[in-house]
Amino acid sequence: MVGYPESLTDPSYRGQILVLTYPLIGNYGVPSHDEMDPLLKDLPAYFESNQIHVAGLVVGQASAEFSHHLANSSLGDWLKREGIPALYGVDTREVTKRIREEGVMLGKILFPTSVVGAGQQAEGVLAEYQDVAWVDPNATNLVAEVSCTQPKTYSPTPETALKRADGRTIRIVAVDIGMKYNQIRCFVKRGVELVVVPWDYDFLTEADNIDGLFLSNGPGDPTTITATIDRVRQALAMKKFPIFGICLGHQVLALASGAQTEKMKYGNRGQNIPCTDMLTGRCYITSQNHGYAVKADTLPATIKELFINANDGSNEGIYHTELPYFSVQFHPESAPGPRDTEVLFDIFIGTVQRCLTSGQVSGPVEFPGMAEAAARKAQAAQWELDLADDDESADKAGRIVRGRRIRKVLVLGSGGLSIGQAGEFDYSGSQAIKALKEEGIYTVLINPNIATIQTSKGLADKCYFLPVTPDCVRK
């Protein structure tokens, strides 16, 4: 529905045919390419690179009419200017089902020869269409196609600049392996000087002038960029500066640490993918776009999982237990998507400042909530010990909360009984019941609305179709 200007210009999509499942695309048009970012000056304000990187676009319904205060052209006109083939009127949900069954696959978009002219004709039922050769984007070094060719420095405003003890602005070197512009914005607006270098640039020759190393997102198979992996491996051994990676940069850091990656059957792409913080147990909604993943069972002993995908259990982040190195598979810079995890940029910059102040590059990255989570875990363990002396015949089901074993919960699940209200209450109630049952807690539901999910057979352990009134609740 939203975010197509950012997604189409995301270098991570290089060489891919992008299928958007939302039924209506293009209704808010496309912003101007001539309006520059007020902070970065020579970069466009509303895009993630200087061109469209997808090989093709497929949508269910394309809107020819658009309305938005930033709109400068239609989506269709933009695609034409960039020479990107696109289709609309396609049942994209059916395409999604096919991918779900078969996995990510190669594809190509063909047009009738009556429209595009003569050329190599396809065979069989597509004989009237102009054929094109099959291209496997993962068989090529896509990073070399999207990376910058020369180093470039982006400086913060004097008012926001973060200074070292010697007066120089803190300098982060960013290896561009498909970097989105919003990553540059996230660093510069936080007061650091960002030096963006090409994917095969030898940044180790300038190690004494680097305060932190950042590995960007990017497209394709991470094992194809051996030059980058080798230099990061050397940087890890040097222990001269903190390191932070995102997306492809996460995979590069893992490979440089001795782990392995694998191609996923589907990949994870979207703006609302949940990830669980392994240190605190908190779940974040993230923006993602990747077809490869780090194999968690190949991580060395000093590297631990930082995040996992709450949907498929795949690895979404790692951290070093002794040194300030960490990375995430998702996109904390968003654009598009939620900004829930943008705080990771603050954590990285804070880690750089800590190392500069102490004069030592040592100790793991300190994440918010770690101490509190550890304290809660220790308290829960103590409660388990305190209750271990329960009578052997006592029911050990349920969950211990603040020193008490909770075995049964009464859920008041009514809420709105009119169209437009019942859905929200029903969803929250049914999710509460599911969560309680996962903890082994017996659930008793009172809900007079029979037309709800939460009153479905087998969800709550016991259900009473009664009004939610004081009398009924007491009974």
Task: Burial-class residue 452 by CB neighbours within 10 Å (0-12, 13-18, 19+).
Answer: buried
CA-based nearest residue to 394, from 407, 382, 380: 407
Closest CA to 452 of 463, 441, 438, 439: 463
Give the active site residue among 6, 53, 333, 463.
333
Check if the beta carbon of residue 250 is closer than 8 Å to that of residue 294: yes
Task: Provide the token pair at 361.
Answer: 């590059």
- Which three-class secondary structure string do you get for 132-150? CCCCCHHHCCHHHHHCCCC
Tokens of 449: 């609305």
Q: CB–CB of 241/348 below 8 Å?
A: no
Pair of tokens at residue 220:
């394709």
| Active-site residue (options: 247, 275, 355, 463) | 247
Beta carbons of 163 and 170 less than 8 angstroms apart:
yes
β-strands 243-246, 212-215 pairing = parallel
**DSSP character for 13?**
G
Select which of 316, 320, 331, 355 is catalytic: 331
Give phi and psi for 21, each to the nearest 5: -85, -20
Can you say whether residue 89 is alpha, beta or left, with left for phi > 0 and alpha for psi between -120 and 50 degrees? left
Report the alpha-carbon distance of residue 125 to residue 162 in Å, rounded: 63
Catalytic: 247?
A: yes
Asked if 306 and 317 count as a contact pair (C-beta separation under 8 A), the reply is yes
Helix residue ranges per DSSP H, 44-180: 75-82, 92-102, 113-116, 142-146
Q: Where are the beta strands (DSSP E) in 139-198?
A: 152-154, 171-175, 193-197
Positions marked active-site: 247, 331, 333
